[in-house]
Amino acid sequence: MDSVFQGLQQLSDRCDRVVVHDAVRPLLSPRLLRQVIQASTEYPAVIPGIPAKETVKELSSSHMVRATLDRSRIWLVQTPQIFQPELLLRAHQQAQDQGWNAPDDAYLAEKMGCSVRVVPGSECNVKITTAFDLRLAELLLRQNLVILGSPD
């Protein structure tokens, strides 16, 4: 949150969109980036996501199942996330003032009452956080499933 907030404070008035992307997602395809940018011409906040494939359970603090969530309504969110700059700056300023800790920038936009549009993401847009994720990304690259300019 801090690095995005610092970047937002450096923007010029000529900027009409802000794209936030995780460095841990190095396999972003040009196609997905174009898709998110295109949707941002109609919506003030746009994020890519993929539908959950597994059953999702909500747990208690003692790891007991509280509920089974409706998988058809669960999406796994990715980056790049794109916003109108003034919206995201206001959201970050309010987060600083209120001490909010957000899992992503879209959450801050939601807290500001903004509707966030989800567009289809890509399973190749892997977030590398574990050794397995790194091996998966290497495999995707070795198999040429993710190359610059690929259709996905």
Q: CA-CA distance, 131 to 152, in Å (whole number)? A: 24
CATH number where 114 lies: 3.90.550.10
List per-residue pLDDT tens for the chain, 152 residues long: 888 888 888 887 778 999 999 999 999 999 999 999 999 999 999 999 999 999 999 999 999 999 999 999 999 999 999 999 999 999 999 998 998 889 999 999 999 999 999 999 999 999 999 999 999 999 999 887 665 444 44
Query: 11 in a domain, yes or no?
Result: yes
Alpha-carbon torsion 131, 81, 91, 109, what sign?
negative
Per the DSSP assignment, residues forming a β-bridge with 76 are: 50
Cis peptide before 103 (omega within 30 of 0): no
Does residue 137 lie within any of the structural domains?
yes
Return d(Cα 30, Cα 98) in angstroms, integer.
Answer: 36
- Asked if the structure places residue 8 within a domain, the reply is yes
Length of the chain measured in residues: 152
Number of separate domains in the chain: 1
User: Is residue 71, in this structure, part of any structural domain at all?
Assistant: no
Structural domain harbouring 135? 2-48+77-142
DSSP string, 3-19: HHHHHHTT--TT---EE
Residue 63 lies in a domain: no
